Amino acid sequence: MASSSSRQETVSSGSGLQINTGSSYVIKPKTMAIPLESFEVQVESPVDFALLKRNGMNLDALMGAQQLYAYFNMLNEPTYVKLVTDFWVRAEVYDIDAAKVEELQAVARDPSLKGKTRKEMGLEPFRQTEIRSAVMGIPITITEEVIAKACRVAPTGRFLWNVSIKHPLLEIFTTVVLKGNPATKLVEIEGHHRMLLKFITDCFFQKGGGSDQPSVDHKLVLYFLAAYEKINLPR
């Protein structure tokens, strides 16, 4: 990555997005091999709760428990496809593994740094996983905190990921969502639960089409929604 040597500052936009300001212009190469003309941006589906209510599906209690009305209102706002595309074709994940690579590279340049702390190596401390990119030459960083602010939801609530298919909560999922019958197909569950499943696949964790079954993790999200247990959507 090439950039000028002028001073930069990091500021937060109204949505919490971290943007490096100043006169520096960053030339960041693409990290995706997808041709731009083949790049498809998935836009979350807006939800008309008033229309649902008029058709006998009142989700006020559920949305109140989940504190997600602000999030769904956000989905009704414009999506700037060109900016999204520009961001993601240059995006990379900076996590603990990437931080360790940085340390190895520092030691390779100067073997005397072996065993030193990141501060002693002249590296920034690793705080959390970040998505790093640049839009129109401006470096941008997305963190879980940024996602929470952009989605207008608190980063609190239930969060389970990469769980075993034998996780005890899956038995409760069968009881609550499938009415105790594990052979029940998801297309056969009651209307409110089908709507929650549609929220998951169209508004939370999009997968770009297909009729495959939700993962074990997503079944747990469906259970938490159905049981009025607040989910940690940003995480």
> Using an 8 Å Cβ cutoff, are 222 and 158 in contact?
no
pLDDT reported for residue 4: 40
- Residue 14 confidence (pLDDT): 53
For tokens 């807006």, what's the residue? 46
Q: Let me know the angle formed at the C-alpha of 209 by 203 and 214, rounded to the nearest 5 degrees.
A: 70
Would you state the pLDDT for residue 212?
Answer: 61
Between CA 197 and CA 229 the distance in angstroms is 15
Radius of gyration of the chain (CA): 22
pLDDT of residue 172: 93
* Residues in the chain, pLDDT under 50: 1-8, 11, 21-23
Check if the beta carbon of residue 79 is closer than 8 Å to that of residue 43: yes
The pLDDT value recorded for residue 20 is: 55
Q: How far apart are CA 80 and CA 88, in angstroms?
A: 12
pLDDT tens digits, residue range 120-167? 999 999 999 999 999 988 999 999 999 999 999 999 999 998 889 889
Answer yes or no: are the C-beta atoms of 49 and 214 closer than 8 Å.
Answer: no
Domain map (residue ranges) of the chain: 2-38+80-150, 49-72+156-226
